[in-house]
Homo-oligomer: A and B are copies of this chain.
């Protein structure tokens, strides 16, 4: 067997962390032949709960799990990490403005960015799940000057999967019928689910649905899906977010010929402000993602993409002192 891959997970005792660890440990992310070491970070008040989670991981007798480290120190969690999944973040409390939220998370992701810079493997693949994911990722990336900016990504795979599932349902098909669909921009209510470049069984998606359904029902329902889950379940998406995180990392490492969506540092592709963490349509090969080129975009799409870009620039400016 090969050496274990070291996987750091923050917020490991939270709801997403709990849904995530067992799928990673069972081999769903890196395959059935890849031993792993889990390096789990939590805040001090959650260390008891984390101990219980680790007992349960142990109780699964997963053959792939070679070691589990628990800590409340980012420097320990990220030591030698090959993969870092930054799930933990400060949730929005009552009366908290988005600005307060950005600020509270700014402190966390500044510290984690520095710790990644100083302790993780130079090839570390970082996925930020904790919200506001794109800007948290921006902060971490900017605080890790010795790491390749391409190592930092934010998760829009959950939005991507939601968009595929809802399109498949609308056209009465199955998810494999859908290709080329992508999420642009921020993992927030401004995200743009792009059907212009998507196909259903090889035919343009927009020939299968009406523009009014697309604009007035589909896009809002993807954008507001998180709130709908909370309303039904009484708690926020956990297992589906964990699943998206597993798929994001799996595809980043194993590759994906199909178009998927990742929040990555913009190099100005499609005219987007350079440096912000922006979700693009990407394909993945040899452990590297590549932004899909020459996607057709109409005025409607360009206007939606601009809206989400403007939001990301505002978020960036609000945390400029941390960059």
Question: 1/0 contact trace for A43-65 toward B, CB 8 Å?
Answer: 00000110111011111111100
- Is the beta-carbon distance between B234 and A52 smaller than 8 angstroms? yes
Cβ contact of A175, chosen from B22, B61, B231, B234, cutoff 8 A: B61
Which of the segments A123-131, A236-244, A269-277, A305-313 contacts the partner chain? A236-244
A229 an interface residue at 8 Å Cβ cutoff? Answer: yes
Bound: A231/B56 CA distance, A: 12
Give the distance to chain B from A125, nearest Cβ to Cβ, in Å: 21
A161 an interface residue at 8 Å Cβ cutoff? Answer: yes
Interface members, chain A 142-187 (any B CB < 8 Å): 158, 161-162, 164-166, 168-169, 174-176
- Is the beta-carbon distance between A61 and B164 smaller than 8 angstroms? yes
A304 an interface residue at 8 Å Cβ cutoff? Answer: no
- Is the beta-carbon distance between A52 and B229 smaller than 8 angstroms? yes
A interface secondary structure, majority: helix
Contacts of A161 in B (CB 8 A): 59-61
Q: Which of A59, A231, A234 has the most CB of B within 10 A?
A: A59
Measured as residues with beta carbon below 8 angstroms from the partner, the interface class of chain A is 35 or more
A225 an interface residue at 8 Å Cβ cutoff? Answer: yes
Contacts of A28 in B (CB 8 A): 26, 28
A23 an interface residue at 8 Å Cβ cutoff? Answer: yes
- Is the beta-carbon distance between B233 and A52 smaller than 8 angstroms? yes
Contacts of A228 in B (CB 8 A): 55
Bound: A56/B21 CA distance, A: 18
Bound: A26/B242 CA distance, A: 12
A19 an interface residue at 8 Å Cβ cutoff? Answer: yes
Give the distance to chain B from A99, nearest Cβ to Cβ, in Å: 29
A232 an interface residue at 8 Å Cβ cutoff? Answer: yes
A18 an interface residue at 8 Å Cβ cutoff? Answer: yes
Give the distance to chain B from A266, nearest Cβ to Cβ, in Å: 26
Interface members, chain A 231-266 (any B CB < 8 Å): 231-234, 237-240, 242-244
Give the distance to chain B from A198, nearest Cβ to Cβ, in Å: 13
Bound: A26/B23 CA distance, A: 10
Cβ contact of A229, chosen from B56, B61, B63, cutoff 8 A: B56
Give the distance to chain B from A9, nearest Cβ to Cβ, in Å: 14
Contacts of A52 in B (CB 8 A): 229, 231-234
Give the distance to chain B from A144, nearest Cβ to Cβ, in Å: 31
Give the distance to chain B from A236, nearest Cβ to Cβ, in Å: 10
Bound: A97/B22 CA distance, A: 34
Give the distance to chain B from A200, nearest Cβ to Cβ, in Å: 14
- Which 7 pairs across A and B sit closest by C-beta, in order of nearness? A52-B233, A52-B232, A56-B240, A59-B240, A61-B161, A22-B239, A60-B243
| Residue positions of A touching B, CB distance < 8 A | 18-19, 21-23, 26, 28, 48-49, 51-53, 55-63, 66, 158, 161-162, 164-166, 168-169, 174-176, 225, 228-229, 231-234, 237-240, 242-244
